[in-house]
Structure 1
Amino acid sequence: MKHRALLVAVALLLPGGAAMAQSGPWGPGADDAAFAQMLKTSFKGRGVATLDRLNQDETQVFCSDPETVYAPESAARREEIEKVNLASVKWPADGVWLGDWKEGEKIAQSGRGNTWTDKPEQVNGGNCYNCHQISAEEISHGTIGPSLHNYGKLRGTDDAVMKATWAKIYNSKSNNACSNMPRAGHMGILSEEQMKHLMALLLDPRSPVNQ
């Protein structure tokens, strides 16, 4: 069963969880329903972190199933999901791709926003350094994602690069159905203006990224 091990582990952490873990239900397919119910009853909405975050779209449902997501027979489904996510991308309204790389650096450095302690009016950060190396000077960065140092220097700045980069930031699932990268534009994490600033950070030749 897909979620049984995780369900048991989570149950043991909750009040009365040991009894719950032993009692089930463990019938065919019941583990999925029990897991979903546990999520709904374990999380409480506070501030901007509301319970609607537990609602999954078709992409998230597909990518939450480790038994099939990377199976060879799922290749067609992955391609279909990528096409759906690419179709969701909203391109710059004014046709301008790049903002201010200095502002982009601030956004990349900031991981604030979208937690229950944050205020609705607070501007979200991109939290980019949590997963990527971006500039050579940055000594603290994550390695979950690839290094983005020299991003524009290596790729150039033609329309194809601009479009691919924008799509990746707006909706990372558009070219990788189960990417770990947040869908910054699609999920409303970042504004169009913020995305332009991040684009400049990656592609402006004056940016430290391309030095």
Structure 2
Amino acid sequence: MSISNKSLDVLLAVGLLTSCVAFVSDSEYRAQAMKLMGADFKARGQAGLDRLNQDEANAACSRTPADGPLSKSASAAIEKANFARLKYPADGKLLGDWREGERIAQSGVGKQFNDDPSRPAGANCYACHQLAPKELSFGTIGPSLLGFGKLRGTSRAIQEYTFGKLYNPQAYTACSNMPRFGHNGILTEAQIKDLVALLLDPESPVNK
């Protein structure tokens, strides 16, 4: 079947138009997106424009998967840099009150523009994890933490790991979805201690 001159002209025109479309790189799209967010996002309450700023870890992680997965060396560099920023309690105590920890885990209050900044923030742990067996509403983005302390024990090394993981999870897993509660000032040192107790204390419902 032959193609008419008219059809051929149409095909050539489409080809020319396609070739004229400018190629926009991923970095250019990213720059445009950041510009749009900067213009659209307005500071309200405690939610300031500084929330648009990314540190090196966030910047690297937000480029995946567009740039492909992070290399082993890049992941190791992120973990090393964040591990160096871990801050453990000066008093050396890592376990708080598991009862307070359960309250913090249940609370999703804090850091939103309409939240009272004078009130302590929650961790909203149940949004991503299973913890106490009696709580039926929990998310599955993160692994189940049921029996966390029963399985791992309460050695000093486990206490330090648990505190560090809550303080800054990217010290252990680059590009973790988990908030950096201590590093970003979401939770206080005392609150993190209470969450460590929730996970490790033998009397905590997590370990019953």
**Shared fold (TM-score, shorter chain, > 0.5):** yes
Residue 50 in structure 1 maps to residue 48 in structure 2: yes
Q: How does 1:107-146 map to 2 (within 5 A)?
A: 107-146=104-143
Q: Distance in 2 between matches of 1:54 and 1:143?
A: 27
Give the TM-score taking structure 2 as reference length. 0.86
Change (3 A) 1:35 1:49: same
- Structure 2 residue identity aligned to 1:61: A
Instruction: Give structure 2 stretches of 5+ with no counterpart.
Output: 1-20
Residue 32 of structure 1 and its aligned partner are, at CA, apart by 1.8
Change (3 A) 1:100 1:44: same
Instruction: Describe the SS at the equivalent of 2:132.
Output: coil
Residue 30 of structure 1 and its aligned partner are, at CA, apart by 2.1
- Structure 1 residue identity aligned to 2:136: I
Residue 119 of structure 1 and its aligned partner are, at CA, apart by 1.8
Instruction: Describe the SS at the equivalent of 1:79.
Output: helix
Residue 159 of structure 1 and its aligned partner are, at CA, apart by 1.5
Deviation readout 1:103-146 (Å, 9 max, x if unpaired): 00000000000001012211100110000000111100000000
What's 1:70 paired with?
A: 69
Given candidates 89, 105, 109, the residue that maps to 1:92 is 89
What's 1:181 paired with?
A: 178
Residue 165 in structure 1 maps to residue 162 in structure 2: yes
Q: Distance in 1 between matches of 2:178 and 2:145?
A: 14
Q: Distance in 1 between matches of 2:159 and 2:179?
A: 19
Residue 25 of structure 1 and its aligned partner are, at CA, apart by 8.5
Q: Aligned-residue CA RMSD in angstroms? A: 1.5
Contact 1:48-1:120 within 8 A present in 2 as well: yes
Q: Distance in 1 between matches of 2:121 and 2:81?
A: 26
What's 1:198 paired with?
A: 195
Instruction: Describe the SS at the equivalent of 2:193.
Output: helix
What's 1:38 paired with?
A: 36
Q: Distance in 1 between matches of 2:130 and 2:29?
A: 39
Residue 182 of structure 1 and its aligned partner are, at CA, apart by 0.1
Q: Distance in 2 between matches of 1:189 and 1:138?
A: 24
Instruction: Describe the SS at the equivalent of 2:144.
Output: coil
Deviates more, 1:185-194 or 1:38-47: 38-47
Q: Distance in 1 between matches of 2:68 and 2:24?
A: 23
Instruction: Give structure 1 stretches of 5+ with no counterpart.
Output: 1-23
- Structure 1 residue identity aligned to 2:156: D
Give the TM-score taking structure 1 as reference length. 0.85
Q: Identity of paired residues, percent? A: 52
Q: Distance in 2 between matches of 1:159 and 1:94?
A: 14
Contact 1:63-1:69 within 8 A present in 2 as well: no
Contact 1:184-1:190 within 8 A present in 2 as well: yes
- Structure 1 residue identity aligned to 2:163: W
Residue 67 of structure 1 and its aligned partner are, at CA, apart by 2.9
